[in-house]
Structure 1
Amino acid sequence: MLFHNFRRIQCQNYYIFIQRYRCHANISASPVTSFKTRVSRATSSLQTRPQQLIHKRISADNICRSVRILYSFIGTKMVTVYVKLGSLSDARHVFDEIPERNLVSWTAMIGGYARYGSGEEALELFYRMKRLGLKPNEITFASILPACSKLGALERGKDIHEEIVRSGFHSDVFIGNSLIDMYAKCRSIDDARDVFDKMDNRNEASWNSLIAGYSHNGFVEEAYELFQSMPERNEVSWNAMISGYAQNGCFDESVKLFGEMWQAGIKPNAVTFASVLQACASLAALIKGKEVQGIVIRSGVQSNVFVGSSLVDMYAKCRSVEDAHKVFDDMPIRNVVSWNAMIAGYAQNGCADEAWKLFQQMPERNLVSWNAVLSGFAQNQLLSDAEKLFQKMPEKDLVSWTVMISGYAQNSCFQKALKMFLQLQGTGLKPNLETFTSLLPAFANLGALHQGKEVHEDIIRRGLHLNIAVTNALIDMYAKCGCVWDAHKLFNKMPRHDIVSWTAIIMGYATHGYGKEALQLFDQMQNFGMKPDHITFVGVLCACCHAGLVDEGRKYFVSMIQDYHIRPSVEHYCCMVDLFGRAGLLDEAGDFIKNMPIKPDAVVWGCLLGACRVHSNIGLGEYAAKRLFELNPENSSHYVALSNIYAMARRWEDVSKVRKMMRERGIKKIPACSWIDVSNKVYTFFKEDGLHLQDFISN
């Protein structure tokens, strides 16, 4: 408050001084010059602290030339201060009142918009300044280039680059660094490299800008090559490379490089720790994360709120909630980011109640806080709680809607997911990558091909079709909707494939009976050097099931264990039981279940029961049904399957016993249903449904 009052008095003094000058027509230049010097010294001490400067409009028509010069000088200084404080509305108000604006005031206002506000406003002011006859200098050019970066306005950036060359400022190292940054952020990395190569003089910032640019555009190998060739590296260089690895999913490399930095005697800062802790979190490398925490303590930055929040996030993602909470409790200062990290940590680890309690204790909440709790409810299948919270939220952003869509899709509430997406479209918010990847599984599971195609077109219009995660989701959607060839076309158009891409197309062929084609794709994947994971092998075993390839299925199951060291999960055992069951090898299927090292669940016994129904094996079917009644006594499908086995053998008395058992336990058969996509709407029909399709259309 003392600082605020002091500054307020100073500004009032400026105003009183100018008011006195208005009473005089002739004022010598020397007092003005002297006062300008005093003002310059005074305002330089104000720039580093928040303030509310008081200014008054001075009519240029009623004051002398000296006062006009003086007010222009003071106004320019005030604009500069406001811009440095990020108060653009105040800066613009003063700027508009300056009677004679010079290049400094224009440059300050342009730079303020480019850095803190609207890139379009910055460019509009830049072009307006030039129309008034003022020529930009090197500082003006360096100030306007970030506006092009923010907007991704490559062509306008190139136009300004040409003007820089014509003005003779292209050899300025500060301008060169700004151009590298602009081109890199506009995803024109070749132009960024061209500027770098043509620079006569480079400093460390030049190298760091290009390293960050390569990393930002996904060229981590090129970034590391440049990093290695640097004549001298500083802390920023190491940070750029470590964070570049982390941002591009090269988490092992990020952690390794952090170790090299520490061994080289370069002291990490908060930015370094945040990047390497992100890598540890993504790797779930708890031990390595604890080692980094030890270095944090030795470096004396454990009290930094930014580092503390990163530690909380790391421990939470490594599923060590107790350690996360200990770090949170030990933090001397917490901000809203710290609280959000802890809430998200609880949510990610299935502790929705703790997340909610902590949320209620927060001294200050923001939208991220609400979204963290919302995500916790959705991820932990507490959809009714998520719905209530969603309705109570004071504001919602795209993340809020995406969390709900994802929650519905992950919990098999596909129609609710579609309904939520339609509501989202009415808000004016634009879906992003996460929204589409969350939504597409709903189309896939409903078989809503028409709507899926419309979303695919929207993805192309938004330029997101090259994203590998979105394309993988589209492949899965087309395959599950029965359009395997469309899925394969998409697969072939991808510039690169990851393990998810290969698994999606293999699974697509497998589930539609193209077992041999699926296995051929699996061989191709291995030839490309791609290592299969446990989900890929589910697809491979599924392909063997649908194609009746028993011997191949046995071979792949053994190879998975011995060659790839993948421990079989319930899904793999279920595939093998299904494989034997479809081939009529029921005794082998039964023995396989008995020899499982893990306890068979209802899905495994369900596969065996289904095979017994197909092959009329009453004894083994009764055994499987008995296990299912113990594991999942409320599931009507198991009773129906056993009843059908008895009916096929004409054992009507046993059929009656099963039906009586269902009545006594209050179990009702779930009616069969199907979906149909008509006129961009998905309709659900149940067995013996009295409603006709025309009833839906007429409504």
Structure 2
Amino acid sequence: MIITKQISKISQFFQAFQEPFNTKNLFFIKYFSSTIPCPIDSNTQDLDTQLRSLCEKPNPQYANAVSLLNHFLDDLGQTPSESTFNFLVVTLAKSKEYNLGLRVYHKMRKVEILPRFLSLAALIECYVYVHKPKLAIGVLGLMLKNGYKVNVYVVNVILKGLCENGMVVDAIKFFWGLDMKEVMPDIVSLNTLVRGLCRDKKVQEALDLRFSMEKVVNFAPNSYTYAILMEGLCSEGRLDDAFGLLEEMREKGLEEDVVVYSTLINGLCNKGYVSRGKELLNEMLEKGISPSVVTYSCLMYGFCEQGKLKETTMLYDDMLERGIQPDIVTFTGMIGGLGNNGMAKKAMELFNLMISRGEKPGNITYNILLSALCKEGLSDDAFQILKLMVEKGKTPDVITYNTIVKGLCESGKVEDAMTLFDSMLGDEAYVLPDVRTTIVLIRGLCQEGYLDKAGEIHNKMVEKKSLVDIGTFTVLIGAYIKAGEVVKAFELWKQLHQLNLIPDSITYSTIIDGFCKLSVLNIAKGLFLRFRKKGYHPTAFDYNSLMDALCKEGSLEQARRLFQEMLDGNCEPNVISYNIIIGSTLAAKDLQSAKELLIDMPQKGLKQDAFTFSTLINRFSKLGLMDEAKKLYARMNASGLTPDVTVYDCLLKGFSLHGETAEIIDLLRKMAAKGIELDLRLTSTILECLCNISEDINVEELLPNFSQKKSEGFSIPCSELLTMLQTSLPKLQSDSAL
């Protein structure tokens, strides 16, 4: 009877392992393991010793340990002890060898060894870092079923895994589903969720969560919480709200630290408010808060973007004096800032300084510098940097080559670009070109007028059945249409269908726009209708191209019908759409319709741009409606938009036509105050206005001083022209009287 019971118990034990981790089976496992001793033989002890020794520091050999484990289990049929299995899982997780840790765990299951609490916690960490957070939650359930008490560290690991894998909504649900009596979240829990929401562009939800945590859990945020929220607000351009959080911190007695300040400085610099960022740095220093390399890097990048090298140099020197060493990110940011501001030579000097200091730039830094050099046509310098890159043991990638090819094409050196492209296709090439390389090269050749050569390269790639896609076809078709070679364009259109390539919206837009610019409207309209019947949805760009061409042809009613189509829901009109119709409506002297369109724009959520105002002011001035023109000019300034010379030219001519001398002088003074530079057209208009002014007015005393800068298109300096203008006034007035 006793033997029968014992056999039954053993049978139940093995049956339990057929469904491992089932709660109702845990009793048998625990009972069996507690009543039947499991002696460790000498072979097992030797295996345990070997496995543990391979994991000892300072030179652990984790992969060898797992290989040895597999060898003993699979080849020799020997099994290490339970404690060694658990030791391996925990050790591998701590050493961030997550995949190896999972492999050991699966072996544990295979030989029916139950993981302990620390092993299960390590297993959760492994699943999180191999991007399988839902399996980590499953292990958490297993821990609870085993009667283990889950601590907040395990919870935070799962929250982090969910957030970093784009599952922040699941993280929030998991968090609020916790039994707060069993495990109380801490500040790490809050900060993990807040960061996850901000990364997911859900800043307002992060702010709401912060309030909920304070109310429900009575959990106050710390300075790091505020720094995360400030970073999220700054990324959305909500600088005022970010600084509002700074004030809130101070009210709650929290001290700002370097992370908070660096976050705000970065936000300011990204929006171009670098001087304000420098003020915050000074504020930090006054409070005794030491800036970090990140603080200085943000500011130096900002000043480089604005071309303020003096300020950048001063910050760099100050940084070194404080014992803060610039890192690769600092240098790369500064090089990028200088390059974006058209100072590639200065960027190269900084790069050389970086090399001399022993820094080892990666491909990103090299590519940024190469892009800057190529944009300015410094191809010789770019090739020197490419050579240095290879000498330093860095392998140029396809981005490197595409950067140089693009730079060479943009600086007109298409022959050099072709040579480089051919070398990429060679047998000893560092890297093969991609479709992007072909597109860049073909576009460069087309822009320089080498259409035949672009066609040859395209055909060559088609024959090889490589490096061509719908993008290469689109570029070449657009170039052929622009050059008036319609037959070749249609041959390519036929060819892309033969290759089973599907035209995209850019292809359709390119073709329609090309025929509009050629004023071949019958074909453009026909294609527009044909493409739409095929299920293609025209974009605002397509509508605008066709409407603009129709308006220039004088077919205003057809353009209006297309515009009404957009309003009816076919396509949302944009500011350009309104500008085209408003300009054409005014040209047709339909003032009422133009005013209605102007009122309709803000109702559609669209703001009038500088072109809108310029068009309206131009038309109203020509129609002699100067009161309307002045109101529009005032609204333009109030909107923060800068009037161009066309606006001033139209206003001056309109005032002159109606003899409004006071308005002319007032406008000239406003122009001078704004530092408007006079070009030849505007200067000629001013001279005409002065010719029409009464002799009784001493214009010489009223005329303001304009900028002394030389404007584009000027053959003589402004100062000389203005002197000539002022000294010639009596003669001009005399000639006008005659």
- What's the CA shift for 1:285? 3.0
SS in 2 for 1:230: helix
- Between the aligned partners of 2:116 and 2:603, the Cα distance in structure 1 is 51
Contact 1:176–1:195, Cα closer than 8 Å, also in 2: yes
Query: 1:566-581 maps to which residues of 2 (within 5 A)?
Result: 566=711, 568=713
1:456 to 2:602 alignment: no
Q: Deviations over 1:16-52 (max 9, x none)?
A: 9xx999xxxxxxxx966x75554232223235x9989
2:383 matched to 1:325? yes
2:93 to 43, 50, 75: 43
Show the counterpart of 2:316. Answer: 262
Q: Structure 1 residues 106, 487: CA separation in 2 closer, same or farther (over 3 Å shift)?
A: farther
- Hey, what does 1:502 align to over in structure 2? 644
Contact 2:405 2:420 in 1 (8 A): yes
Q: Distance in 2 between matches of 1:425 and 1:281?
A: 47
1:163 aligns with 2:228: no
CA contact (8 A) 1:321 1:346 kept: yes
C-alpha distance in 1, partners of 2:349/2:163?
A: 40
Match of 1:222? 276
Match of 2:292 in 1: 234
Aligned to 2:731: none
1:139 is aligned to 2:188: yes
| Cα shift at 1:165 | 3.1
Given candidates 263, 267, 283, the residue that maps to 1:209 is 263
Question: Relative contact order: is structure 1 or structure 2 higher (C-alpha 8 Å, sep ≥ 6)?
Answer: 1
1:540 corresponding residue in structure 2: 682
CA–CA distance in structure 2, aligned partners of residues 551 and 538 of structure 1? 19
| In structure 2, C-alpha distance between the alignment counterparts of 1:241 and 1:130, rounded to whole Å | 40
> How far is 1:78 from its partner?
1.0
Residue 274 of structure 1 is matched in structure 2 by: 332
Contact residue 114 and residue 144 of structure 1 kept, 8 A: yes
How far, CA to CA, are the matches of 1:462 and 1:146 in structure 2?
36
Give the partner amino acid of 2:269.
S
Whether the 8 Å CA contact 2:339–2:373 is kept in 1: the answer is: yes
Equivalent residue for 1:338? Answer: 400
- CA shift, 1:260, in A, is 1.1
1:129 corresponds in structure 2 to 175
User: Could you tell me how far apart the structure 2 residues matched to 1:429 and 1:127 are?
Assistant: 39
Residue in 2 aligned with 1:603?
Answer: none
CA 1:173/1:155 → structure 2, altered by over 3 Å: closer, same or farther? closer
Q: Is the 8 A contact 1:444 1:478 kept in 2?
A: no
Counterpart amino acid of residue 251 in structure 1: Q
Deviations 1:499-544 (A, max 9, x none): 6x53464477799999899978973763553443xxx736625867
RMSD over aligned CA atoms reads 6.0
Contact map agreement 2:234 2:242 (CA 8 A) in 1:
yes
Cα drift, residue 276 of structure 1: 2.7
TM-score, structure 1 normalization: 0.58
**Which AA in structure 1 matches 2:575?**
H
Q: Does the CA-based 8 Å contact 2:171-2:193 persist in structure 1?
A: no
Following superposition, the deviation at residue 272 of structure 1 comes to 2.6
Q: Is the 8 A contact 2:679 2:714 kept in 1?
A: no
Query: Which residue does the alignment assign to 1:564?
Result: 709
Cα deviation digits, residues 563-602 of structure 1 (max 9, x gap)? 2223536999xxx9xxxxxxxxxxxxxxxxxxxxxxxxxx
Q: How far apart in 1 are the matches of 2:366 and 2:135?
A: 39
Q: How has the CA–CA distance of structure 1 residues 376 and 497 changed in structure 2, closer, same or farther, with 3 Å as cutoff?
A: farther
Aligned to 2:8: none
**2:237 pairs with one of 178, 182, 187:** 187
Identify the residue that residue 45 of structure 2 maps to in structure 1: none
CA positional deviation for 1:242: 2.2
8 Å CA contact 1:211, 1:226 repeated in 2: yes
Listed as ranges, the matches of 1:416-565 within 5 Å are 447=551, 450=560, 454-456=573-575, 471-472=609-610, 489=632, 492=635, 497=640, 501-503=643-645, 505-506=647-648, 523=668, 526-532=671-677, 537=679, 540=682, 563-565=708-710
Determine what percentage of the aligned residue pairs are the same residue.
Answer: 11
The 1-side partners of 2:155 and 2:510 are apart by 47
User: What is the rounded CA distance, in whole Å, between the counterparts of 2:350 and 2:298 in structure 1?
Assistant: 18
By how many angstroms is 1:237 displaced? 0.8
Cα displacement (A) at 1:406: 9.1
Contact 2:398/2:432, CA 8 A, preserved across alignment: yes
Structure 2 equivalent of residue 363 of structure 1: 431
* SS of residue paired to 1:211: helix
Check the 8 A contact 2:233/2:242 in 1, yes or no. yes
In the alignment, which residue of structure 2 is the partner of 1:73? Answer: 121
1:316 matched residue in structure 2: 374
Cα distance in 2, alignment partners of residues 230 and 429 from structure 1: 54
The whole-number CA distance in structure 2 between the counterparts of 1:7 and 1:462 is: 70
Matched, 1:175 2:230: no
Number of residue pairs matched by the alignment: 530
TM-score (norm. length: structure 2)? 0.55
For 1:564 and 1:203, the matched residues in 2 are separated by 46
In structure 1, what is the equivalent of residue 10 of structure 2? none
- SS of residue in 2 equivalent to 1:252: coil
- Report if aligned partners of 2:156, 2:189 keep a CA contact under 8 Å in 1: yes
Residues 425 and 20 of structure 1, relative CA distance in 2, 3 Å threshold: farther
Partner AA of 2:306 in structure 1: F
Counterparts in 2 of 1:324 and 1:132: CA distance versus 1, 3 Å: same
Matched AA of 1:222: R
Could you tell me how far 1:162 is from its partner in structure 2? 0.7
260-269 vs 100-109, which moves further: 100-109
The AA in structure 1 aligned to 2:207 is K
TM-aligned CA distance change 1:378 to 1:210, over 3 Å: farther
Judge conservation of contact 1:149–1:182 (CA < 8 Å) in 2: yes
Secondary structure of 2:284's partner?
Answer: coil
The residue number in structure 2 matching 1:627 is: none
1:252 paired with 2:269, answer no
* 1:54 to 1:228, Cα distance in 2 relative to 1, 3 A: same
Q: Shift of residue 151 of structure 1?
A: 4.0
Contact 1:346–1:354, Cα closer than 8 Å, also in 2: yes
Contact 2:278 2:299 in 1 (8 A): yes
Deviation at 1:351, TM superposition (A): 2.7
Provide Cα deviations, 1:437-480, integer angstroms capped at 9, x if missing partner.
Answer: x99788667648756882229998999957xxx93455567789
The answer to whether the Cα contact below 8 Å between 1:479 and 1:508 also exists between their aligned partners in 2 is: yes
Q: Distance in 2 between matches of 1:325 and 1:211?
A: 36
Residue number in structure 2 paired with 1:349: 411
Distance across 2 between alignment mates of 1:463 and 1:107? 46
Separation of aligned partners in 1, 2:629 and 2:88: 74
Q: Deviations over 1:84-122 (max 9, x none)?
A: xxxx3x45555556644765565445434544x53xx31
Does the aligned pair in 2 maintain the 1:509–1:543 contact within 8 Å?
no
Out of 413, 438, 444, which is 1:376 matched to?
A: 444
Larger radius of gyration: 2
